[in-house]
């Protein structure tokens, strides 16, 4: 028989729900006549749908239509899908329940009960919950074995018997060594060497039961009967493990009802066009839920740290240098920095030489002659290196070994255009033919800062360095004298790392030598200082990496790139020092 929607829609258009609606037997008959196949069509009829939703929300009506299913008669095979409704029915005759105890008493998986509770929480106000944690103890695999077969020490004690037994025979058994040690610790047995043979003999003859086995069986039945010391000892022997289970105490909410109304997840165009939205209930937006990550490119951690370092330099008034020249001549990489052509200082760089083009030929001629002279004859108060300087060595093309070659070019340009106090920085790759290991690659990023000022002092350099490193969270520094071919004096920079509990080398610094600066044409009263560090080391510390191959190279984990956070050194990257001084100089 077809259901006359129009008739009933017109009928209920005359009813108001301002006053409390009292349902009758006619309501029950009509409600029961609406089969599941008809329910989807009700939404098209505003007044009929309003009546249906209203009467479904009445608790007394719900009890009449669907008598409460008793939790004692819970049928696992058919009722598990109705678990949220069953929980509401249970709450209607009980003030509250413990999710763990309820699941245990009904033979249900605790997670299924938790899932049903979470489902009910989506209906605001129906239930209230309180999270709690319960600590239980479970036997480990070894603990289960001992609970069945007995402890190692008790089995050794049983083997010894009244006449004793050879120690060597006991040691052949898998549990022999540990069993002997524990039995001697308990003063159950002793070692007898009087007969020429090392024997194990009993010191205690009356052990009616194995105490460890008894404790483990007690733990299975009721762990609360065990003393704290007994539990501590069993955990120490790894016979027992502590398991924390999260549970919820569920009680009636301020809007408790046993009738669940389905909430719409989305406001669709169809609902708007049909007018059904007026009688529907919608799920509230969860603004705390995580959104779907957009599918897009991700910045590598090195680039994030590089960007942060760059911002710090710019905030300190530094100007960024052009670092696009990866292939450089030996002249700018070595000779301009007063590094001799036949000196171990060049070999220490482990340089990559270029086969094609093999040489560079364009150099500032006057500057070239001044560099040649200061190397071979000296000048500007220096004796030089006193060797036959060769243009052929200076012309060789290489992969630059440091970004100081960029600084040299900029300082020469500064001298030619008329000196003015300047601060430069660069962050880019350099290349060295080194043995690859967990902390070294053939290419890496070098961070460099250069300050050129009149009468600049070493103390001024230390102040700039302290300011820079303070901006990345390294507030406590030490400076140690060092040697560099093109700086004098030179200093290594150390920072105290609270995590490692030691001082960590983080950079190098120094005042550029006159033999480097005067040939460029810089005035005598101008001093230039520089400091540098790698980009990889602070990045590895920042993101908790111990192997550089996890940061850079063909085997890198892409998930690490996708999930690493924004780099903010000034907020959370702190080196803490236990000493009082912020800056120390170490001899």
H or E stretch covering 405: helix 404-416
What the block records as the tokens of 194 is 């009087």
Q: Can you spell out the DSSP letters for 514-525?
A: HHHHGGGT--TT
What's the pTM?
Answer: 0.52
Name the nearest CA neighbour of 281 among 43, 63, 545: 43
CA dist., res. 411 & res. 426, Å (int): 13
Mean pLDDT of 54-68: 61
Three-state SS for 26?
helix
Compute the mean pLDDT over every residue in the chain, rounded to the nearest whole number.
82
Is the CB of residue 522 less than 8 Å from the CB of residue 528? Answer: yes
Is the CB of residue 452 less than 8 Å from the CB of residue 421? Answer: yes
CA dist., res. 255 & res. 125, Å (int): 5
Mean pLDDT of 429-450: 82
Q: What backbone torsions phi and psi does residue 493 show, to the nearest 5 degrees? A: -110, 130
Q: Residue holding tokens 């303070």?
A: 470
Range scoring the smallest mean pLDDT among 43-47, 105-109, 173-177: 43-47
Q: What is the CB neighbour count within 10 angstroms for residue 509?
A: 24
| Cα of 270 vs its chain's centroid, Å | 44
The DSSP bridge pattern shows strands 319-320 and 422-431 to be parallel
Residue 64's pLDDT band (boundaries 50, 70, 90)? Answer: low
Give the CA distances from residue 160 to residues 163, 169, 180, 185, in Å, rounded to whole numbers and listed in that order: 7, 10, 10, 16
Q: What is the CB neighbour count within 10 angstroms for residue 431?
A: 20
Whether 484 has a pLDDT exceeding 50, the answer reads: yes
CA dist., res. 33 & res. 25, Å (int): 12
- Tens digit of each residue's pLDDT (9 = 90 or more) over 466-475: 999 888 877 8
- Tens digit of each residue's pLDDT (9 = 90 or more) over 486-529: 899 999 999 887 777 788 888 899 999 999 999 999 988 999 99
The per-residue b/e assignment along 388-420, b for 16 or more CB within 10 angstroms, e otherwise, is ebeeeebbbbbbbbbbbbbbbbbbbebbeeebe
Whether 554 has a pLDDT exceeding 70, the answer reads: yes
Give the CA distances from residue 100 to residues 117, 227, 587, in Å, rounded to whole numbers and listed in that order: 12, 25, 66
Domains of the chain are 5-57+263-279 (no CATH), 141-240 (1.10.10.2330), 304-585 (3.30.930.10)
Q: What is the pLDDT of residue 230?
A: 87
Three-state SS for 322?
coil
């Amino acid at each position: 028989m077809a259901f006359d929607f129009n008739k009933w829609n017109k009928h209920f258009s005359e009813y108001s729900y301002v006053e409390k609606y009292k349902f009758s037997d006619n309501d029950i008959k009509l409600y029961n006549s609406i089969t599941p196949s008809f329910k989807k069509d009700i939404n098209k009829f505003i007044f009929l749908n309003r009546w249906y939703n209203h009467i479904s929300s009445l608790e007394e009506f719900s009890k009449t239509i669907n008598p409460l299913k008793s939790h004692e008669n819970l049928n696992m095979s058919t009722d598990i899908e109705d678990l949220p409704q069953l929980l509401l029915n249970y709450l209607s005759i009980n003030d509250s329940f413990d999710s763990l105890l309820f699941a245990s008493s009904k033979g249900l998986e605790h997670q299924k009960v938790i899932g049903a509770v979470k489902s009910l929480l989506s209906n605001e106000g129906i239930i209230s919950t309180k999270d709690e944690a319960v600590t239980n103890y479970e036997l480990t695999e070894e603990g289960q074995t001992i609970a069945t077969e007995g402890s190692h020490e008790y089995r050794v004690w049983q083997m010894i018997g009244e006449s004793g037994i050879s120690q060597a025979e006991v040691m052949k058994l898998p549990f022999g060594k540990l069993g002997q040690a524990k039995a001697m610790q308990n003063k159950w047995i002793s070692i007898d060497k009087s007969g020429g043979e090392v024997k194990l003999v009993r010191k205690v003859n009356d052990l009616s039961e194995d105490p460890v086995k008894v404790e483990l069986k007690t733990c299975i039945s009721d762990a609360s009967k065990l003393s704290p010391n007994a539990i501590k000892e069993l955990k120490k022997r790894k016979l027992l493990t502590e398991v924390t289970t999260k549970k919820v105490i569920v009680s009636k909410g301020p809007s408790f009802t046993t009738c669940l109304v389905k909430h719409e997840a989305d406001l669709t165009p169809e609902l708007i066009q049909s007018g059904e939205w007026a009688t529907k209930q919608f799920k509230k937006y969860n603004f705390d839920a995580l959104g779907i990550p957009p599918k897009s490119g991700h910045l590598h951690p090195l680039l994030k740290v590089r960007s942060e370092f760059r911002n710090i330099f710019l905030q300190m008034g530094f100007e960024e240098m052009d670092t696009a020249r990866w292939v450089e001549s030996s002249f700018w990489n070595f000779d301009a920095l007063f590094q001799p052509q036949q000196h171990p200082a060049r070999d220490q760089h482990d340089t990559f030489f270029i086969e094609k083009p093999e040489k560079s030929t364009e150099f500032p001629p006057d500057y070239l002659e001044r560099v040649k002279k200061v190397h071979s004859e000296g000048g500007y108060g220096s004796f030089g290196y006193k060797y036959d300087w060769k243009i052929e060595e200076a012309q060789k093309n290489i992969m630059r070994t440091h970004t100081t070659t960029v600084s040299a070019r900029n300082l020469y340009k500064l001298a030619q255009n008329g000196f003015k106090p300047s601060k430069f920085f660069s962050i880019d790759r350099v290349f060295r033919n080194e043995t690859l290991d967990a902390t070294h690659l053939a290419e890496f990023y070098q961070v460099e800062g250069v300050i050129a000022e009149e009468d600049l002092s070493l103390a001024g350099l230390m102040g700039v360095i302290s300011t820079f490193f303070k901006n990345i969270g390294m507030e406590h520094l030490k400076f140690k004298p060092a040697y560099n071919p093109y700086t004098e004096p030179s200093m290594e920079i150390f920072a105290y790392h609270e995590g490692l509990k030691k001082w960590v080398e983080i950079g190098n610094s120094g005042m550029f030598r006159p033999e480097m600066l005067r040939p460029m044409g810089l005035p005598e009263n101008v001093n230039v200082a520089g400091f540098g560090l790698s980009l990889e080391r602070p990045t590895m510390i920042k993101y908790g990496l111990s192997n550089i191959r996890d940061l850079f190279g063909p085997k890198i984990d892409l998930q690490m790139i996708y999930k690493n956070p924004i780099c903010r050194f000034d907020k959370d990257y702190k080196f803490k020092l236990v000493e009082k001084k912020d800056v120390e100089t170490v001899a």
